[in-house]
Amino acid sequence: MKLLVVGSVAFDAIETPFGKTDKILGGAATYISLASTILKVKSGIVSVVGGDFPQSDLDMFEERGINIEGIEVVKDGKTFFWSGKYHNDLNSRDTLVTEVNVLENFDPKIPDSMQDSEILVLGNLHPGVQLSVLEKMTSRPKLVILDTMNFWMDTAWDLLVKIIGKTDVITINDEEARQLSGEYSLVKAAKKIHKMGPRFVIIKKGEHGALLFHDDMIFAIPALPLEEVYDPTGAGDTFAGGFAAYLAKKEDFSFETMKSALIVGSAMASFTVEKFGTQKLQEVAEGEMIARIKNFKELTTFEVEV
């Protein structure tokens, strides 16, 4: 096992200016693991769902080679449900419903087959749960990647600071980085977040790309300009999954490799937004992904004489 993914496996109902879905498959761990399958990297999920979660979705995970031994099914419980509505610019959204359901009392159990995972991806969840996962690992994974959100800054600050202190890479969006650090400048924000623990700080800027900070080095990438953008849900999680899977594949966690991983993560996220939910991610083949990375290279490579 290369990647251990902890996070929500959920039902989402999404509304964007282009349409609306009923309850469909969602959740942070879902997007992260599906992204890793495109690079054919073995991952396993630790999560919890209710008796209402379709067997067909569990089968789909397995068919794609995702280890689901760590997905607990609470027969008489209901699966986590999230509903959101995007504004016209697709950059911001309102959460309409969050039904925590079985996630409320989630006590993650890590199957023996996943204890030797090289990379741990802690998807957006209560920081107390993220901490307990790290504590339950018999040996520390080589790399711990953490995703979080402003909700936990407002409601579980002390635990959040604790888990950030144990993390190697944090992925966070620009608004959240400002809230976490109290700094408007993202450069200053990244410096403060470094001091909290993570050696690598990734700040996601939605359709404006992403920044990677390490020591005094900064690497910046744009987002691919896309013709079709239907639903940004899960873009951040897909990015984290693609990023982690690339590092797992290369077995190298240097700044140079992380630069490439940032591009792979971004290319994968660009697929997610092209259709609702996980649909596009389930359709993408490795070749299509490679072609998109080439586009990325052409978009960002230039020579200039000064």
Judge contact between 266 and 235, C-beta under 8 A.
no
Nearer to ligand AMP, 28 or 189 (CB): 28
Q: Does 282 bind ligand AMP (CB under 6 A)?
A: no
Residues from 34 through 93 that contact ligand AMP (CB under 6 A): 82
Residues from 151 through 210 that contact ligand AMP (CB under 6 A): 151
99-137 burial code (b ≥16 CB/10 A, e <16): eebbbeebebebeeebeebbbbbbbbbbbebbbbbbeeb
Looking at 60, 65, 98, 111, which residue binds ligand AMP (CB under 6 A)?
A: 98
Nearer to ligand AMP, 125 or 261 (CB): 125
CB of 124 to ligand AMP, least distance (A): 5
Judge contact between 197 and 167, C-beta under 8 A.
yes
Q: Does 10 bind ligand AMP (CB under 6 A)?
A: yes
Nearer to ligand AMP, 80 or 213 (CB): 80
d(CA 166, CA 164): 5
Pairing verdict, β 143-147 and 119-122: parallel
Cα three-residue angle 203-206-207, rounded to 5 degrees: 130
Residues from 99 through 128 that contact ligand AMP (CB under 6 A): 124-125
Looking at 4, 27, 205, 223, which residue binds ligand AMP (CB under 6 A)?
A: 27
Residues that bind ligand AMP (CB under 6 A): 8, 10, 12, 26-28, 82, 98, 124-125, 151, 233-237
